[in-house]
Chains A and B, each alone.
Chain A
């Protein structure tokens, strides 16, 4: 890298071959069935899909999960069996055993190829068996990993009620209920005055319940009321959405959901950076405030205080470089946060880059690079893992954030790695969890620094491909 490169430039975007490793988007059932407590996810696919889920979900599989495979057999493929009758049989079975409030059908590559009309069959079967059936095509032909959640949530948007009965309105959404838990009506009324009068705001993105509470409280401090959250804890508690409501995403991979809110439900999208890291959390809140014409209070101190509490971790990574191979679409936000922590980032691989939905995040990334005086990263969409490994070999980054397929081989070659999937399962949103991100990021560095003097860096004999 020459000296000239240290002058910050605009972001550059590239697109490679798409030969990269990622999880199949059906993996979203693993966290969504836990989030939506009264749901049942039926993945309509083959043994290949089942094998992936069984292995990727690890011990969860033994806990009688509310998911199952509808495993297609040769008769289904050659249309000797009637799809509708087959699905009806299985769904009745599920209804009998589990009685869920919703069955989510996950369409897979196979249902795409044989053109099984899931969207057509669902409404008919729904009225026949009396359980809502939501169809999401989360397949590997079109999507990567976390985009699976996007397809499910986009399908759920259509199911959000457009008007709640008056009496029920107050009770309807999960967040309000949660916060008002056990309180008197008068207290609740008094609490209403904590909020500034603003149009209803719905947040979207599946987060663990504690994180939902944290972000909701964070906005409450600014007098902003969260009227609902997609998804909510239960399918029966999906938020009311009326025309003109405001919506904001909490995760960078939710572009279809955002589009659906805007086009189909006539909502207004607040395009903000995502609340990942203290910088992102602040920018997220500021943007929401600005849309509602609210002057944010105390954010400066809050952010400073969080940064101070992170200093011990930041010392470990300041001045080091991080390389994202790309597999879960959180990459831009994480890179932006890590650059703010003082890291450099030569390359951000990402499966899919929605420049409109992520516009504010990209702008913040660029701004962060300028302010920190580091070169802007190259953003590589649909990366080619083989080429990336060659580049990693040349760059020798201090940390590579990558999938499990490459982690052990890279470690054996003396390269520190962090398994990217952990970022999707850990709590990383809001001010409160910034430390958890750095806990993950610094773990390989802390571990390897304790092994540093043992001379065990390179543990392969010949340097074959990388």
Chain B
């Protein structure tokens, strides 16, 4: 048992649901008690999704506990198959089904006999995997299933596409800025003359998965999602993959050179050096920013970085290598993949922090007092408490991290966005600091007021106490309205009753 207030990565089924609901026309059925379908709320709210989230629950209740699910799961699968005719139904186990140990595979096999669509049991164990690992596993499982299926039917297409092409693997729903990153990657590929063969899982149809082997190579932009699938495709079809996250100027160039190498080895005559040069020096503003006076002022400033592997590693390198900022420590919550992180960042920071404990992260921030933090929403709140500005660079995130405006983190436009994010965090911190040194904002007493704050009204003790319960930001308004109400009625003493009478009268 472990005392926990906050977690960075969610439970396993969230990962499976993120993959299932990313695909087009795939429905997930959770084997879970009432109330575990909170995923639908998150997707509908955070992504402002216009369509119903294709996730339902086969409810585990007392009866299921007593007698087992029996026909219930099978019925729910076949019912959903008829109602919405999805291509695939993914039966998703939860922590509850993990301990009930029902033979879910048996239900899937039975439902498959009746269902027109395909039915699959997500192969994830709640107690062994977290959200990220489960997403990775489920994506691999679905790809493998459809490759095998096509192979059995002899439907696997032969050979590669005529022109160089790529599969972009790992774009998913509820991923940090994934939709913007996806657009940016597509633009980048178009600039390079590379056709996009498939993007998975977001918006993909499972029937198109059999075409994955036609791509010349696979691009895995995020360390957390897609590696397993890319390795599988390499093993099965010899498709090479590029797993360098094109985040930051140097890494984007490295990614493009890796792509160039892969394509050249496969017989395409490509040279991206001019493109990289032009983008770096003239299109992206990041390189120029590094030389500008603004950035000079950031030299040696202290920062800390914490997040998932992909983002924390990339940001650490950008801060240290491209902006001359002193990264005191860089950390990740992807404990299961800590070695990779260490290897990526150790030369760019003084210290590496591997932990899933938010309190430990908070203490580490307090200890070093950086000028800015780059972390998740949790670190943003630590920053608030300590008066240190924070740029959010990684999940877990809130609704404000699903911006409507175009804000990719990858590619050349991504480098511009990152400059703003980083620079704005630091200047805000500077401003605050200067204000404090020079005595804060204009603090002179306001001499005239439209409505006098000191009134002739007599507030009884109860009423005053009641007023103090009103949240601070509306208290002034409540006070003014109550007094206006009392004045209009020639009441001189404000009691609790008068307060509520004022509230009841229209407009007060």
Contacts and interface: CB of A to CB of B under 8 A. Distances in A.
Contacts of B406: none
Contact of A210 (B5, B56, B469): B469
B83 interface: yes
Contacts of B504: 305-306, 309, 431-432, 435
Interface string B79-102: 000011000000000111001100
A213 B48 CA distance: 39
Interface centre among A52, A71, A305 (most CB of B within 10 A): A52
B441 interface: no
Interface residues of A, number: 82
Contacts of B381: 62
Interface centre among A44, A141, A435 (most CB of B within 10 A): A141
Interface string A78-98: 000100001101100110000
Given A72-B1, A144-B34, A432-B503, A61 B51 contact: no
Nearest to B34: A140
A41 to B, nearest CB: 12
Contact of B3 (A22, A69, A432): A69
Contact of A179 (B3, B44, B60, B462): B462
Interface centre among B34, B94, B100, B461 (most CB of A within 10 A): B34
B466 A210 contact: yes
B83 to A, nearest CB: 7
Contacts of B13: 48
A44 B396 CA distance: 23
Interface stretch (B35-43, B186-194, B300-308): B35-43
Contact of A46 (B53, B57, B95, B128): B95
Contacts of B2: 70-71, 73
A431 B500 CA distance: 10
A182 B462 CA distance: 9
Interface string A289-333: 000000000000000011001001000000000000000000000
Interface string B494-508: 001100100111100
B11 interface: yes
B50 A181 contact: no
A217 B496 CA distance: 9
B271 to A, nearest CB: 42
Contact of A24 (B35, B50, B56, B76): B35
Interface in A101-144: 109-110, 112-114, 139-144
Contacts of A94: 3
Interface centre among A20, A140, A182, A460 (most CB of B within 10 A): A140
A113 B57 CA distance: 18
B65 A141 contact: yes
A409 B44 contact: yes
A189 interface: no
Interface string A8-20: 0000000000111
A223 interface: no
Interface stretch (A244-252, A260-268, A398-406): A398-406
B186 to A, nearest CB: 21
A23 B4 CA distance: 21
Interface in B1-46: 1-7, 10-11, 13-14, 32-38, 40-42, 44-45
Nearest to B385: A62
Nearest to A17: B59
A455 interface: no
A139 B62 CA distance: 11
A70 B3 contact: yes
A406 B55 CA distance: 12
B109 interface: no
Contacts of A86: 1
Given A81-B1, A140-B33, A309-B504, A460 B50 contact: yes
Interface centre among B381, B462, B497 (most CB of A within 10 A): B462
A84 B40 CA distance: 36
A50 B4 contact: yes
A257 B380 CA distance: 41
Nearest to B470: A210
Contacts of A67: 5
B52 A466 contact: yes
27 contacts: A23-B38, A46-B11, A47-B11, A47-B95, A48-B13, A48-B96, A52-B36, A54-B6, A65-B5, A69-B4, A70-B1, A70-B3, A73-B1, A73-B2, A87-B1, A109-B95, A110-B99, A112-B65, A140-B34, A141-B62, A217-B500, A405-B40, A405-B41, A405-B44, A408-B44, A408-B48, A412-B50
Given A46-B95, A81-B1, 5 more contacts: A24-B33, A26-B35, A51-B38, A71-B3, A74-B128
